[in-house]
């Protein structure tokens, strides 16, 4: 009988320490605790020596098979996120969708950089999507295109989401002058008819489906949650999605993702490269958004360039940062609602970009050519921009029709 101790290998010990460090960050620092704690625990359980949790039919193996590989968990998370989203700020200022498009540039830029670094297209696309600052979209794309690196991609995406308050402000300050940060933006003068809030999610589904059929699961579940919240008849279901569903699925999602981070898979040079390219995607998206704001401001549009940093999907953290930096220069400056508008458009843009990226990559095939990457960059950004512009124009038309009906109703009443 073997009475010896089962000791982890150096690699397993390193991964166990890493998992415990994630748990520490989640508990002590409050960095995405609902996700990083389960991820950290999953890493510990799967890297213990001779752990049965590594088996395909173990508890963690089944969670991965039926929750991650078939995209169930991230899509359920989208239902919960949709129930939390409030589209009213965006509907009041639909022109701000331009920042939602600008915030996706880093995805396609990092894809190109990953191709240059030697990654095949499917893995390069999975790395690039880290730049959406949208964890569920990252999981869906990576699990479909590159399941081998889904753990690294997911951890990078959620790590950078948690570090938004550290990553974005230096870029925002570096790219703007104090005068630009102090620019005030006019408050919205028109309200949003309740019927428009109810129609809007259906509009997004239809437009997204026309541009990219593979975006339907992503957009459809996100808008399903929002429909529950805005229908006026399903508030109890919306409340369940926001609270019970979100908490339960996040728990299983995190521990299942953590179980993919085995030492023999995770401890490779490419993992550091994935994190570096993911950070590049995040930085490029932020910088391009702020740069777009500076260009519009220089052209005479009354816009604070800081708003561009909110075009990512990191809702509502980026919007709060815009408000914070704006008030540092002018205590009376109120940018929050404008930033929320851009932030919500970034949420829509990131999900649409994920679907478009899947569509273009699957049609292209898992190649290593940089020329194909350039083609996907141009085609992908073109589709994302077209989709958001179509959404913005549709909102303007619907608001105009609503105002005309209101005026005709008032004239008929007199």
Q: What is the DSSP string of 268-286?
A: SHHHHHHHHHHHHHHHHHH
Tokens encoding 358: 């899947």
Number of H helices, E strands in the chain: 21, 0
Tokens encoding 143: 């699990």
Digitized pLDDT (tens) for each residue of the chain, 414 residues in all: 456 788 899 999 999 999 999 899 889 887 778 888 998 999 999 999 999 998 989 999 999 889 888 889 989 999 999 999 888 888 888 888 889 888 888 888 889 999 999 999 999 999 998 887 788 888 899 999 999 898 888 888 877 777 788 889 999 999 999 999 999 988 765 677 888 899 999 999 999 999 989 889 999 999 999 999 999 899 999 999 999 999 999 899 889 888 888 888 888 888 889 989 988 888 999 999 999 999 999 998 889 999 999 988 877 788 888 999 999 888 888 888 888 889 889 889 899 999 999 999 999 898 887 888 888 888 888 999 899 889 988 888 887 777 777 666 655 555
The CA distance from 289 to 306, in Å, is 8
As a whole number of Å, the end-to-end CA separation of the chain is 96
Question: Quick one: pLDDT at residue 261?
Answer: 85
Tokens encoding 349: 């843009």
The CA distance from 130 to 111, in Å, is 10
pLDDT tens-digit series, residues 6-51: 889 999 999 999 999 989 988 988 777 888 899 899 999 999 999 9
The CA distance from 97 to 341, in Å, is 8
Three-class DSSP category at 240: helix
Q: What is the DSSP string of 365-381?
A: -S---HHHHHHHHHHHH
Q: What is the mean pLDDT of the chain?
A: 88
Q: Residues 6 or more apart from 350 whose CB is under 8 A from it?
A: 103, 104, 132, 133, 134, 137, 312, 313
The CA distance from 334 to 300, in Å, is 20
- Taking alpha carbons only, the member of 61, 103, 49 closest to residue 283 is 103
Question: Quick one: pLDDT at residue 1?
Answer: 47
Q: Which helix (H) or strand (E) holds 53?
A: none
The CA distance from 345 to 95, in Å, is 10
Q: What's the pTM value of the predicted model, to 2 decimals?
A: 0.86
Q: What DSSP state is assigned to residue 330?
A: -
CB < 8 Å & 24+ apart, contacts of 399-403? 399/91, 399/94, 399/190, 399/192, 399/193, 399/196, 402/193, 402/195, 402/196, 403/190
């Amino acid at each position: 009988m073997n009475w010896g101790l089962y000791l982890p290998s150096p690699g397993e010990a390193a991964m166990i320490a890493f998992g415990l460090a994630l748990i520490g960050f989640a508990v002590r620092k409050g960095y995405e605790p609902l996700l990083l704690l389960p991820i950290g625990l999953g890493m510990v359980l799967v890297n213990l020596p001779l752990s049965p949790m590594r088996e395909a039919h173990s508890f963690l193996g089944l969670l991965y098979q039926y929750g991650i590989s078939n995209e169930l968990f991230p899509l359920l998370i989208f239902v919960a996120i949709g129930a939390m989203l409030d589209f009213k700020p965006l509907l009041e200022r639909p022109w701000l969708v331009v920042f939602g498009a600008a915030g996706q540039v880093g995805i396609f830029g990092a894809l190109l950089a990953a191709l240059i670094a030697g990654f095949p297209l499917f893995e390069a696309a999975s790395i690039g999507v880290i730049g959406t600052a949208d964890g569920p979209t990252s999981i869906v794309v990576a699990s479909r295109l590159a399941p081998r690196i889904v753990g690294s991609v997911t951890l990078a995406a959620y790590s950078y989401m948690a570090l938004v308050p550290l990553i974005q402000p230096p870029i925002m300050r570096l790219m703007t002058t104090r005068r630009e940060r102090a620019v005030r933006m006019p408050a919205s003068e028109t309200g949003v008819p309740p019927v428009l809030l109810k129609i809007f999610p259906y509009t997004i589904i239809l437009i997204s489906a026309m541009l990219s059929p593979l975006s339907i699961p992503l957009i459809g579940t996100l808008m399903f949650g929002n429909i529950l919240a805005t229908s006026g008849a399903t508030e109890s279901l919306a409340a369940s999605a926001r609270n019970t569903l979100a908490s339960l699925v996040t728990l299983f999602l995190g521990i299942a993702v953590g179980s993919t981070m085995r030492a023999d898979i995770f401890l490779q040079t490419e993992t550091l490269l994935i994190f570096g390219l993911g950070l590049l995607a995040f930085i490029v998206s932020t910088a391009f958004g702020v740069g777009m704001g500076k260009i519009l401001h220089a052209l005479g549009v009354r816009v604070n360039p800081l708003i561009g940093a909110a075009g990512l999907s990191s809702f509502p953290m980026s919007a709060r940062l815009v408000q914070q930096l704006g008030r540092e220069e002018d205590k009376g400056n109120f940018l929050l609602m404008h930033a929320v508008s851009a932030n919500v458009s970034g949420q829509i843009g990131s999900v649409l970009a994920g679907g478009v990226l899947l569509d273009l990559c699957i049609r292209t095939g898992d190649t290593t050519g940089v020329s194909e990457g350039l083609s996907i960059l141009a085609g992908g950004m073109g589709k994302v921009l077209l989709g958001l512009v179509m959404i913005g124009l549709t909102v303007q038309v619907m608001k105009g029709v609503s105002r005309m009906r209101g005026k005709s109703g008032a004239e008929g009443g007199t």
